[in-house]
């Protein structure tokens, strides 16, 4: 592993987002330090942890994600170079302002599902206040802080079940952190706003955050494409990020939210969207498409050792276009919330 890359002394904020590569992002970028590239497309940006490591290394970074709430993370921490949230905005984020008209969408749609009535009311007010912020980077920092607060107060940090009772039941507990769950939204928001502010920096090159399909970018516009799609594991199951974080995506489309919900679901998830990356029947095809589309670029694929398709199959696909393909064993890295203890984090680099 090359260790001569210079990183600015900045820390990516803490997160409980499933699949986050926060702990190994700089290792991933260091493994690419022997390659000649300046511009990077992070095609499946997620938490933006790897984009952030590329930005720390002084690269032109294009962060991309198909989910709108994730793009706000990219705007806040990747595209934004200098803007930080002021103390007054942070302190008043959950307070009603006389000049703002507030909705009641969360109170109406999600009673007794994820949060208490008081917390739902706070969220509706915070959403109204954030939507009224004119500066897009200030707004993105506020969204980031709200999303992290919302995940922190959820059992499993997810929105996959109607399970508020896990927080409110008066029973002996061996699971979870009730202190964290019961800490106020305002306190959580302040914590994450401070972390986000501390993470803002100018990497010296222009970075942008986009919300598009991973195949919609012009290959000639970037030197390296980092690919970290949803994985299909050995059991054939994959992480459906929309299913896990639909509540945050709904917030981003607040006015249209009721019409987007699958009202047959007890937890008010958004109507399912076909994602070919999440099926073992179609993800081979998706890998072939993205490898062929960006065949003129350096390709770096984050993957798991037990994924479908296999490491060997991905290497074979890449060798159809690239003379040099190497597989790097990053670590036995267990994601937050994952029960899989045997799978290893791999990086496949093709150039």
| Count of Cβ atoms closer than 10 Å to residue 330 Cβ | 18
Tell me what pLDDT residue 239 has.
84
pLDDT at 183 over 90: yes
Instruction: Delimit the CATH 3.40.50.150 region(s) of the chain.
Output: 1-81+202-233+277-351
Tell me what pLDDT residue 169 has.
81
pLDDT at 180 over 80: yes
pLDDT at 45 over 90: yes
Of residues 34, 32, 81, the one with CA closest to residue 55? 81
Does the pTM exceed 0.95? no
Contacts for 311 with CB less than 8 Å, ≥ 6 apart: 303, 305, 327, 346, 348
Tell me what pLDDT residue 336 has.
45
Sorting pLDDT into bands at 50, 70 and 90, what band is 1? Answer: very low
Q: What is the mean pLDDT of the chain?
A: 92
We find that the CATH architecture of domain 1-81+202-233+277-351 is: 3-Layer(aba) Sandwich (3.40)
Three-class SS string for 197-266?
HHHCCCCCCCCEEECCCCCCCCHHHCCEEEECCCCECCCCCECCHHHHHHHHHHHHCHHHHHHHECCCCC
pLDDT at 132 over 90: yes
Q: Which residue has the higher pLDDT, 17 or 336?
A: 17
What is the average pLDDT across 244-258? 97
Taking only the tens place, the pLDDT of each residue in 61-97 is 999 999 999 999 999 999 999 999 999 999 999 999 9
Taking only the tens place, the pLDDT of each residue in 271-320 is 999 999 999 999 999 999 999 999 999 999 999 999 999 999 999 999 99
pLDDT at 339 over 70: no
pLDDT at 2 over 50: no
Tell me what pLDDT residue 200 has.
97
């Amino acid at each position: 592993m090359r260790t001569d890359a210079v990183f600015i002394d900045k820390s990516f904020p803490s997160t409980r987002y499933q699949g986050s590569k926060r702990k190994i992002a700089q290792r991933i970028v260091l493994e690419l330090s022997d390659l000649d590239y300046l511009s990077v497309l992070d095609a499946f940006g997620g938490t933006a942890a790897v984009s952030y490591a590329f930005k720390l290394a002084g690269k032109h970074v294009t962060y991309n994600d198909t989910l709108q709430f994730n793009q706000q993370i990219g705007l806040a921490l990747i595209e934004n170079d200098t803007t930080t949230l002021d103390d007054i905005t942070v302190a008043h984020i959950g307070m009603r302002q006389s000049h703002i008209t507030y909705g009641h969408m969360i109170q109406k749609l999600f009673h007794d599902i994820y949060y208490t009535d008081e917390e739902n009311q706070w969220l509706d007010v915070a959403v109204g206040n954030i939507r009224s912020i004119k500066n897009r980077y200030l707004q993105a920092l506020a969204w980031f802080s709200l999303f992290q607060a919302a995940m922190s107060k959820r059992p499993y940090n997810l929105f996959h079940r109607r399970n508020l009772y896990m927080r409110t039941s008066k029973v002996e507990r061996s699971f979870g952190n009730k202190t964290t769950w019961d800490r106020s939204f305002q306190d959580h928001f302040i914590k994450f706003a401070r972390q986000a502010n501390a993470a803002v920096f100018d990497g010296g090159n222009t970075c942008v955050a986009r919300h598009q399909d991973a195949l919609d970018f012009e290959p000639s516009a970037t030197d390296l494409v980092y690919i970290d799609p949803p994985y299909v594991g050995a059991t054939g199951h994959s992480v459906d990020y929309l299913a896990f974080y639909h509540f945050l995506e709904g917030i981003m489309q607040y006015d249209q939210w009721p019409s987007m919900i699958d009202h047959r679901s007890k937890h008010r998830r958004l109507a399912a969207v076909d994602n070919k990356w999440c099926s073992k029947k179609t993800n081979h095809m998706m890998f072939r498409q993205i490898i062929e589309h960006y065949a003129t670029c350096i390709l770096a694929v984050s993957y798991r050792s037990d994924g479908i398709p296999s490491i060997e199959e991905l290497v074979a696909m890449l060798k159809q276009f690239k003379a040099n393909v190497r597989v790097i064993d990053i670590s036995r890295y267990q994601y937050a919330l994952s029960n899989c203890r045997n799978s290893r984090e791999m990086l496949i680099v093709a150039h």
